[in-house]
Amino acid sequence: MSEIVSVEAPANIAFIKYWGARDLERAIPLNPSLSMTLRACATRTSAQVLGRGMGDEMWLVGDGGLQPAGGSFRDRALAHVARLRAWAGRDEGVRIATHNSFPASAGMASSASGFAALTLAVVAAFGRDPEPAELSRLARSSGSGSAARSVLGGYVEWPAEGSGAGAEGAAVQVAPASHWDLRDVIVLVQRRPKGVSSLQGHLRAPTSPHFATRQRLLPERLDRARAAIRERSLAQLGPVLEQEAIELHLIAMSSVPPIFYWAPSTLRVLERVRGLRDDGVPAFATMDAGANVHVICEPGHEPAVIDALGSAPGIDGLMRDRVGEGPRRIHEHLLGAEPGGTGV
Ligand code: DP6
């Protein structure tokens, strides 16, 4: 048996959203995006190369130990393992175990951290150590575009293909986590997974009459977001990230057929965030393709945000997160050394 490699990769929250794909299967975006890599919301994955002729194994770490993965997650993950194997020019099977630090039932997108962790663990188990740009492209080829950003820490930009910015198709770091300590108070509004996948959303986005307008406005908005990060100005960044979130949902709601991700409590939380600002607390809300709200603020204002939102009616809990440094190798393995054994 070869060495077990274990990796932790974080989720990320987009300030400028990837919404609409030129090529959905390879996750080639129609527009650039910009995100903050998180720290607490992360996926841990262990990988071990098996002998030749052995099939792949995919395990989830649950309460009672390892359980075989099933359903569409398993299919997508194994298809990605096959892609990584072909890239590495290898033919052995791989044994994988994975675990999310945040509850899978929390309605939080876990595919960015999941596919970033899977990519990094399998590539390392095959003994390869590619440049970050190649890792970003490999993570993206899973079909989860946001995974392209999760292989890097801090503030990360993923240019649209053909824009001439950065390595083609790969995300690049705009600033490290140490540059600016931003906090993300995640307000859980709905724990169940969203009804319509992001993949469907990307597909339908260009059917919205507002899609073309958004594409026209994005370059200037991206410049403003990048400059705000450089200057550590939440007064500049906040309105941009809030506008982006609302526009993503405007496009979803006006796509054909329409997609409604918001729940009634989403609006109540947004109202509270506006109320916080009226009381002099600079906090700004963003949402991915779901009902949960990420409230971005600086450390000094985090207690006031938690206080105001923890008691909002109809919410199902809060999670505290912050900008993080990106993926790392870990030494606690989720697999035991022998087949079927667990290291947890
Ligand atoms: C709204 O195709 O990366 O989060 O694989 O489900 O994470 P998942 O979706 P993906 O699209 C992400 C859409 C978004 C915006 C963003 O993260 O840029």
Q: Average per-residue pLDDT in the chain?
A: 93
Number of the ligand 1 atom closest to the C-alpha atom of 147: 3
pLDDT of residue 62: 83
**pLDDT tens string 221-275:** 999 999 999 999 999 999 999 999 999 999 999 999 999 999 999 999 999 999 9
For ligand 1, atom 4, the nearest C-alpha belongs to 288
Q: Quick one: average pLDDT of 72-91?
A: 95
Number of the ligand 1 atom closest to the C-alpha atom of 33: 18
Q: Is the C-beta atom of 156 inside 6 A of ligand 1?
A: no
Q: Quick one: average pLDDT of 136-148?
A: 94
Does the pLDDT of residue 337 top 60, yes or no? no
The two most distant CA atoms of the chain are separated, in Å, by 64
**CA–CA dist 218, 69 (Å, integer):** 39
- Which band of pLDDT confidence, cut at 50, 70 and 90, is reported for residue 338? low
Does the pLDDT of residue 344 top 50, yes or no? no
Q: Quick one: average pLDDT of 89-106?
A: 88
Global pTM reads 0.95
pLDDT of residue 109: 66
pLDDT of residue 102: 83
**pLDDT tens string 178-226:** 999 999 999 999 888 788 889 999 999 999 999 999 999 999 999 999 9
Does the pLDDT of residue 164 top 90, yes or no? no
Tokens for 57, please give them: 């194994």
Q: DSSP letter at 132?
A: H
Residues 6+ apart with CB under 8 A from 135: 119, 120, 123, 151
Closest CA to 161 of 24, 297, 4, 28: 28
Query: To test ligand 1's pocket by mutation, which of 15, 146, 186, 248 has the most ligand atoms within 8 angstroms of CB?
Result: 146
**pLDDT tens string 2-39:** 899 999 999 999 999 999 998 888 888 999 999 999 99
Q: Is the C-beta atom of 112 inside 6 A of ligand 1?
A: yes
Does the pLDDT of residue 80 top 80, yes or no? yes
Cβ–Cβ < 8 Å for 48, 335: yes
pLDDT of residue 26: 81
